[in-house]
Structure 1
């Protein structure tokens, strides 16, 4: 059975007004429904810019992004209801509790009150936040804040979920809990587009990847095939082989 494309990226370029060069140059990718697709690359490669374009946060300078549901093109307004975005920066109110944050963001998606209560309590429980649900998020550890960030991004049960460094700066237990839950929702049908600097995590999590460097796609495809093609045994070796070893800070 042929997999359906849910996002088609055609010749997308981006140049910020303050820059003399492109942040992205003619990026073309297809992302299939139900995939876990890794956008990987060194610091400053253009990953966050591409995710911001895909989510409609910023426009491309040229090129286009097309979304499909059941094989049919959907409008920009329609796509907003099916997308979830978990940014690298914390996107919640520090002075509110997890329960209050989820109520606030759930209301923004017009989720009916009873349905929102059920969904909120489900997420608090499954992400290990139930015992701290009424404490201010500003008092939480980094791992707990990451889990609150994730809960907010998926409160509306999105069909497509964008994750920008979802486990950065967290302990091993929180990272494992986050990845385990993401694998569960992917198995249930959620398409995931993901960036990370954790190569071992990405190797375990992603089905397909695109390696981006200096704003260009330098490799894309199924991870196993890319490793075989480049005669390497792991993703980190593939990454170093294709992007080099110089510092990118």
Structure 2
């Protein structure tokens, strides 16, 4: 395994009885970057995080985090990582300062050092004004920021964020994005799972898409969008019959569809020749398509394309 990687996993496999959750996952994460793991519910994202964070042993495969084996050296891994889950794990009866001071003392800091670190983190996360308020009075976004701050008391090299902005409104999510960006600027490696694809697009240097327990594609957001549909042709069909006929004809090329609105989204290279070819294919009599428009592909398009069928072979770009 490479010593210059923050995270490296090879052939990770995990089953629960007869249910295979991971079936040979390979991951490589450079230090000081944001790596995002995407996938539908049940794809194995949280299981992968739990293995890498030493909370679960793999059935097969190997992994190293911050230079240490997650099974044989899990105590060393735990000294170098932080894990923040979907729900804030802070004490609502204590103040923000008291929460962070407690974490500092539990991490082995002296009373003075714990007080200093708590104040430093409260300022860094924009919580100084609320430092001596009971956490139970905090908003959801403030609690998430405090939870992330608590995970940084020990100055970890790698932070695992498992859907850290779930349930937050857009302003709170954007505030968390700024915090995560600041962590990377400070040299921390962030391993992120999220259900918000625009979040991965905004933050991630590199993305892996996992489906049915295996990685089906990996690359930067821009690379994935170029590889799996740099442009999307949106079609507005004239009737239900026309919509069904076009949907059946286009097959795997469809990346978005809405039967009620009679719309379809199709991958295209964006050229006039290809757009004309698609229109001629599905509407030779010029009566099925009412209107069309061309858009840049999004990660939503990539995600839907990659997870639409479990029979696709893994693709790396």
TM-score by length of 2: 0.71
Among residues 227, 240, 246, which one is paired with 2:304 in the alignment? 240
Question: Residue 124 of structure 2 aligns with which residue?
Answer: 126
Bigger drift between 234-243 and 122-131 goes to 122-131
Shift of 1:231: 2.1
**Structure possessing the higher relative contact order (Cα contacts under 8 Å, 6 or more residues apart):** 1
Aligned length: 240
* SS of residue matched to 2:161: strand
Residue 10 of structure 1 is matched in structure 2 by 10
User: Partners in 2 of 1:199 and 1:3 — Cα distance?
Assistant: 30
Q: Which residue of 2 aligns with 1:172?
A: 170
Matching residue of 1:42: 40
Task: List gaps (5 residues or longer) in structure 2.
Answer: 231-296, 310-317
CA apart distance, 1:73: 6.9
Which residue in 2 is equivalent to 1:156? 154
Q: Which runs of 5+ in 1 are unaligned?
A: none
Residue 60 of structure 1 and its aligned partner are, at CA, apart by 1.1
Question: What is the distance in 1 between the residues matched to 2:65 and 2:161?
Answer: 18
The offset of 1:179, in angstroms, is 1.0
> CA 1:100 to 1:171, structure 2 compared with 1: closer, same or farther past 3 Å?
same
Are the aligned partners of 1:208 and 1:221 in contact in 2 as well (CA < 8 Å)? yes
Task: Name the structure 1 match of 2:95.
Answer: 97
Which residue number corresponds to residue 266 of structure 2? Answer: none
- Give the TM-score, by structure 1 length: 0.89
Instruction: Provide Cα deviations, 1:114-142, integer angstroms capped at 9, x if missing partner.
Output: 33222211221222222222222223221
Q: Indicate conservation of the 8 Å contact 1:14/1:62, yes or no.
A: yes
Correspondence for 1:82 among 80, 83, 86: 80
2:193 equivalent in structure 1 = 195
Q: Distance in 2 between matches of 1:226 and 1:4?
A: 25
Which has the higher mean CA deviation after the structures are superposed, 2-11 or 234-243?
Answer: 2-11
In our comparison, the structure showing a higher alpha carbon Rg is 2
Alpha carbons 1:3, 1:33 under 8 Å: kept: no
Q: Are 1:207 and 2:224 counterparts? A: no
| Preserved CA contact (<8 Å) 2:34 2:192 | yes
